[in-house]
Amino acid sequence: MSNITRRRALGVAAAGAAGAAAGLALAGSSVADAPRPAAPAAGPAPFDEVYQGRRITGGPAHGGGHHGGHHGGGYSVTIDGAELHVMQNADGTWISVINHYEPVATPKALARAAVRELQGAPLVPLTLT
Amino acid sequence: MTVRKNQATLSADEKRRFVNALLELKRSGRYDTFVTTHNAFIMSDTDNGDRVGHRSPSFLPWHRRFLIEFEQALQSVDPTVNLPYWDWTADRTSRSSLWAPDFLGGTGRARDGQVLDGPFARSGNRWTITVRVDGRDYLRRDLGAGGRQLPTRAEVDSVLAMETYDTAPWNSSSDGFRNHLEGWRGVNLHNRVHVWVGGQMGTGVSPNDPVFWLHHAFVDKLWADWQARHPRSTYLPAAGTANVVDLRDTMRPWNDVTPADMLDHTRHYTFDTAA
């Protein structure tokens, strides 16, 4: 395990997440020019705000690239542009790599909890050496 | 023979040897490989996908094997060292001897959560946090932040009373002993302790705090206690379950050990009190 990359660590469950991603990617958007979901919204709404001086965003992950291995069901969260690894639990609650053992109701609450926990520190890509 | 003792009963010499072995594993780089492994599983174990280390039946045997491997690494430094356990139902405040400067050090300061005393304080230059998810390279804690409470003995007993090891869908939404001990459901035991400690213990890189091992050694003991209370109950599921480690499936990352191999802890160690 000593030389794994973050992507490889994430890639294990990428196939499992992909199915859920398809369902969530269209859902919950409130952006005017975004396509409206045909089915009732199944995912959390996007957000983009400044919280305690830091920009937090959340929304459907773009296909492919480094988002391919996400476990947020295709949902991506950033803090000052850096990606926060998030995961959705079976009951719909959310956790992140910063607050891993304390589920919260929404990705926005999760991003805010991470900002409080970070106390101004930058989020960095994992240094898996 | 390895005997795992309650941390509260360790002698000054036992504490010193345990701390020195931790510092040597850290110095040599071996310690951080355990942090890396744990975080890789934390991030890849998902409720609807492949899951091995967490949120699944193999949470308990996976961590048992992980702790045995870590304990063997400690013993390669000092053969007299065994993993102690932290009974957080008994030693439940930040004034416990666990958090004294001669052992793990105390809580973090208000400004940045930094632990300032004990062998793992950043200022000692022997415990730099290198496997990390943010820019901070010092050990942090916030013991009992916001008035949080550790689980009580009565809450532990209510979980030990559950007869069924685990239930479908074998994840964070399951009923049964495993998920209540892990804490995704019900009174919340294991997860709540991570949150109570705070700092790195609340993150995916939680083994950065040495208390990780003492916490999990007690969770592991509770599994043994549960087995003693329910001799007719066993690990589930038995076979043929997608994405989940069945009784005789091998577990990553070792690929040569199954939950069945991990059921009897006495092949590897005993506890200071009969389970």
Quick: pLDDT tens for A54-96: 999 999 986 543 433 445 568 999 999 999 999 999 999 999 9
- Best CA proximity match to B193, nearest among B90, B79, B272, B73: B90
Do residue B169 and residue A9 have CB atoms under 8 angstroms apart? no
B104 vs B118: CA distance, rounded Å: 6
Peptide linkage before B253 cis (omega within 30 of 0)? yes
- Kindly give the pairing relationship between strand A82-84 and strand A54-60: unpaired
Which positions of chain B have pLDDT values less than 50? none
Q: Which residue has the tokens 């939950």?
A: B259
Compute the nearest-CA separation of B82 from chain A (Å). 24
* Cα–Cα nearest to B103, from B196, B28, B8: B8
Distance to chain A for B216, nearest Cα, Å:
14
B210: left (phi over 0), alpha (psi -120 to 50) or beta: alpha
Position B60 scores a pLDDT of 98
- The distance of Cα B56 from the centroid of its chain, to the nearest Å, equals 15
Spatial distance between the Cα atoms of B50 and A19, rounded to a whole number of angstroms:
14
The answer to whether the CB atoms of B203 and A98 lie below 8 A apart is yes
- Mean pLDDT for chain B? 97
Whole-number Å distance between alpha carbons of B34 and B38: 6
**Which of chain B's residues have a Cβ under 8 Å away from the Cβ of A4?**
36, 40
Report H helices in B29-93: 30-44, 59-77
Cα distance from B12 to chain A (closest Cα, Å)?
33
Q: Do B172 and A12 touch (CB under 8 A)?
A: no
Q: What's the pLDDT score for residue A21? A: 36
Contact between B46 and A10 using a beta-carbon 8 Å cutoff:
no
Q: What is the interface pTM, i.e. ipTM, of the complex?
A: 0.94
Q: Token pair of B178, please?
A: 């495993």
Tokens of B243: 């994405």
Pairing of β A47-51 and β A54-60: antiparallel
- CB-nearest partner of A16 from B46, B192, B253: B46
Interface touch B195/A2, C-beta < 8 Å: no
Q: What is the pLDDT of residue A38?
A: 41
B66, B14 contact by CB (below 8 A) = no
How much is the pLDDT for A61? Answer: 84
Residue-wise pLDDT tens digits, B146-184: 899 999 999 999 999 999 999 999 999 999 999 999 999
Q: How confident is the model at residue A126 (pLDDT cuts 50, 70, 90)?
A: low
Query: How many angstroms separate the CA of residue B92 from the nearest CA in chain A?
Result: 19
Cis peptide before B237 (omega within 30 of 0): yes
Work out the number of other CB atoms within 10 angstroms of the CB of residue B243: 18
Determine if the peptide bond prior to B169 is cis (ω within 30°). Answer: yes
Distance of CA B113 to the CA centre of its chain: 21
Length of chain A: 129
Q: What token pair was written down for A35?
A: 């396509």
Identify which of A100, A121, A127 has the shortest CB distance to residue B131.
Answer: A127
Q: What is the dihedral of CA B216, B217, B220, B226, to 10 degrees?
A: -120
Q: CB of B256 within 8 A of CB of B69?
A: no
* Listed residue (B207, B112, B205, B150) closest to A116, CA to CA: B112
- Kindly calculate the radius of gyration of chain B based on its CA atoms and give it in whole angstroms: 18
At residue A42, the pLDDT reads 60
The closest CB to that of B50, out of A4, A16, A99, belongs to: A16
pLDDT at site A20: 39
Q: Which residue of B has its CA nearest to A123?
A: B134
Alpha-carbon distance values, B263 to A57, B13, B159, B270 (Å): 45, 32, 19, 13
Per-residue confidence (pLDDT) for residue B129, from 0 to 100: 97
Task: Mark yes or no for CB contact B169/A90 under 8 Å.
Answer: yes
- In this predicted structure, the answer to whether residue A34 has a pLDDT above a threshold of 70 is no
The predicted model scores a pTM of 0.88
Residue in A1, A119, A122 nearest the CB of B37: A1
CB nearest A13 (choices: B32, B50, B191): B50
What is the DSSP secondary-structure string of B217-237? HHHHHHHHHHHHH-TT---S-
Spatial distance between the Cα atoms of B164 and B127, rounded to a whole number of angstroms: 41
Interface of B with A (CB under 8 A): 32-33, 36-37, 39-40, 42-50, 55, 112-113, 130-136, 169, 171-173, 183-184, 190-192, 194-195, 202-206, 243, 253
- Average pLDDT for A112-123: 96
